[in-house]
Amino acid sequence: MNPLTEQQIQTLVAKDQIRDVIMRYARGVDRLDEELIRSCYHEDSTDDHGHWKGPGQDFASFIVQSLKERSHHTTHSIANVLIEINPNDHNKARSEAFSLAYLRRTDESGNEWLDFFSGRYIDKFESRNDEWRIAERVIVHDWSMSTQLDSDSFPLPMDSFIQGARNHSDIVYDW
């Protein structure tokens, strides 16, 4: 087996750094961490989230406020990440990442709901000053649904688990 070329190694490193940006974004959204979300976007980036379109940097404050108002728990799972480095410009890449978003909310009558959004992040990434960030993001909606929950149906007692927090008090920030 031939050793990897320098270009192959650089491509592997770039893909890992891009994948890290996608994962940091999901953590930032679920922990309502504006700074972490902002760190995923270039200063002049754009984001098209369907119901919100504008600068990527501005999306961070919008989504944190929006999620605080309309849900009390969220989980963004990322799957099927395909990253392609531009063969003509190794400082540019595009990616498609499946996003499965679960949002739990309480309606005005006190009923619990689970909203599910299945879509994809279609991103254009650029490496500037040796740092990969999102230059353009478009969210593609594939399908979604909402289900009313029965809070007494889960078979395990939840009070024995460490509970997640939507801020820096969450255990993930505890070093």
Domains of the chain: which residue ranges? Answer: 6-173
What pTM does this model have? 0.92
pLDDT of residue 7: 93
Query: What is the pairing mode between strands 41-48 and 131-148?
Result: parallel
CATH assignment, 6-173: 3.10.450.50
Termini Cα distance of the chain = 41
Using CA atoms, how far apart are residues 164 and 146, in angstroms rounded to an integer?
A: 22
Using CA atoms, how far apart are residues 163 and 151, in angstroms rounded to an integer?
A: 16
Average pLDDT estimate for 44-65: 97
Q: Looking at per-residue confidence, does 149 or 122 come out higher?
A: 122
Tokens 């279609």 — which residue?
122
Which stretch of 79-88, 121-130, 142-151 has the lowest confidence by average pLDDT? Answer: 142-151
Dump pLDDT digits (tens) for 102-136.
999 999 999 999 999 999 999 999 999 999 999 99
* Position 175 pLDDT exceeds 90: no
With a pLDDT cut of 70, the percent of the chain lying above it is: 97
25 phi and psi angles, rounded to 5 deg:
-60, -50
pLDDT of residue 90: 96
Using CA atoms, how far apart are residues 55 and 46, in angstroms rounded to an integer?
A: 4
* Position 158 pLDDT exceeds 80: no
Average pLDDT estimate for 74-94: 97
Q: pLDDT band for 147, please (50, 70, 90 cuts).
A: very high
pLDDT of residue 152: 62
Q: Phi-psi region for residue 63, left (φ > 0), alpha (ψ -120 to 50) or beta?
A: alpha
Complete DSSP assignment for 2-70: PPPPHHHHHHHHHHHHHHHHHHHHHHHHHTT-HHHHHTTEEEEEEEE-SS-EEEHHHHHHHHHHHHHHH
pLDDT of residue 154: 66
Q: pLDDT band for 155, please (50, 70, 90 cuts).
A: low
